[in-house]
Chain A
Amino acid sequence: MALRSGVSFLRFTALRSSRLLSTHTRPDIQQNGGKTAEFPGAKAPYVTDMKFLNETNYEPIPIYRVLDNNGEVLMNSEEPDLDKEVLLNMYKTMIQLNQMDKILYESQRQGRISFYMTNYGEEGMHVGSAAALSLRDMVFAQYREVGVLLYRGMTISELVNQCYGNHEDPGKGRHMPVHYGSRQLNIVTISSPLATQMPQAVGAAYAFKRQPDNDRCVICYFGEGAASEGDAFAAFNFAATLECPVILFCRNNGYAISTPSSEQYRGDGIAARGPSLGINTLRVDGTDALAVYNAVRAAKEIAVKNKPVLIEAMSYRVGHHSTSDDSTAYRSIEEIQKWTADENPIQKLRLYLERKGLWNEEADKALIKESRDIVVRTMQDAEKKKKPHWKEMFEDVYYDMPPKLQKQMKQLEHHLKKNGEHYPLDNFQKE
Chain B
Amino acid sequence: MAGLITKKTTCSRYLFKNVNNYMKRLSSHFTYFPDEQKPIEGETSKMNMMQAINNAMDITLKTDPSAVLFGEDVAFGGVFRCALGLQEKYGKDRVFNTPLCEQGIAGFGIGLATAGATAIAEIQFADYIFPAFDQLVNEAAKCRYRSGAQWACGALTVRAPCGAVGHGGLYHSQSPEAFFAHAPGLKVVIPRGPTSAKGLLLSCLRDRDPCIFLEPKILYRAAAEEVPVDSYEIPLGKAQVLREGDAATLIAWGTQVHVMLEVAQMAKEQLGVNCEVIDLASILPWDEETVCNSVKKTGRCLIAHEAPLTCGFGAELAATIQEECFLHLEAPVRRAAGWDAPFPHVFEPFYLPDRTRCMQDLRDLLQY
Contacts and interface: CB of A to CB of B under 8 A. Distances in A.
B60 to A, nearest CB: 15
Interface string A227-260: 0001101110110011000000000000000000
A172 B66 contact: no
A204 B285 contact: no
Nearest to B102: A234
Contact of B146 (A174, A205, A231, A234): A174
Nearest to A237: B99
A255 B285 CA distance: 42
Interface string B263-296: 0000000000000000000000110110000000
A396 B145 contact: yes
Contacts of B113: 203
B250 to A, nearest CB: 22
A204 B146 contact: no
A181 B147 CA distance: 7
A201 B209 CA distance: 19
A367 B94 CA distance: 51
A235 B237 CA distance: 34
Nearest to A206: B112
Contact of B151 (A181, A199, A203, A208): A181
Interface stretch (B20-28, B81-89, B134-142, B239-247): B134-142
Contacts of B367: none
Contact of B104 (A183, A237, A399): A237
Given A196-B138, A399-B209, A203 B112 contact: yes
Interface residues of B, number: 51
A249 to B, nearest CB: 16
B135 A179 contact: no
Contacts of B209: 398-399
Contacts of A397: 144-145, 184-185
B99 A199 contact: no
A206 B108 contact: yes
B147 A238 contact: no
A196 B139 contact: yes
Interface residues of A, number: 50
A189 interface: yes
B169 interface: no
A389 B152 CA distance: 22
B96 interface: yes
B79 to A, nearest CB: 19
A108 interface: no
Contacts of B286: 404
Contact of A174 (B98, B117, B145, B207): B145
B7 interface: no
A17 B96 CA distance: 46
A403 interface: yes
Contacts, number: 162
B115 interface: yes
A179 B138 CA distance: 14
Residue of B107, B208, B237 with most chain A CB atoms under a 10 A cut-off: B107
B103 A231 contact: yes
Interface in A58-113: none
B146 A179 contact: yes
Contact of A238 (B101, B152, B288): B101
Interface in B98-124: 98-99, 101, 103-104, 106-117, 119
A208 B142 CA distance: 23
A155 to B, nearest CB: 15
Interface in B17-37: none
Contact of B289 (A188, A193, A403): A403
Residue of B101, B104, B135, B144 with most chain A CB atoms under a 10 A cut-off: B104
A399 B185 CA distance: 9
Nearest to B146: A175
29 contacts: A140-B111, A171-B148, A181-B151, A188-B114, A193-B134, A196-B134, A199-B104, A199-B108, A199-B135, A200-B110, A200-B135, A202-B107, A203-B108, A203-B110, A203-B112, A204-B111, A204-B114, A206-B108, A206-B117, A207-B112, A210-B68, A218-B115, A234-B104, A237-B101, A238-B99, A403-B285, A403-B288, A403-B289, A404-B286
Given A170-B147, A231-B104, 14 more contacts: A174-B145, A179-B146, A189-B150, A196-B135, A196-B138, A202-B111, A206-B68, A218-B111, A230-B131, A238-B104, A396-B148, A403-B237, A403-B285, A403-B289
Interface of B: 66, 68, 93-94, 96, 98-99, 101, 103-104, 106-117, 119, 131, 134-135, 138-139, 142-152, 154, 184-185, 187, 207-209, 237, 285-286, 288-289
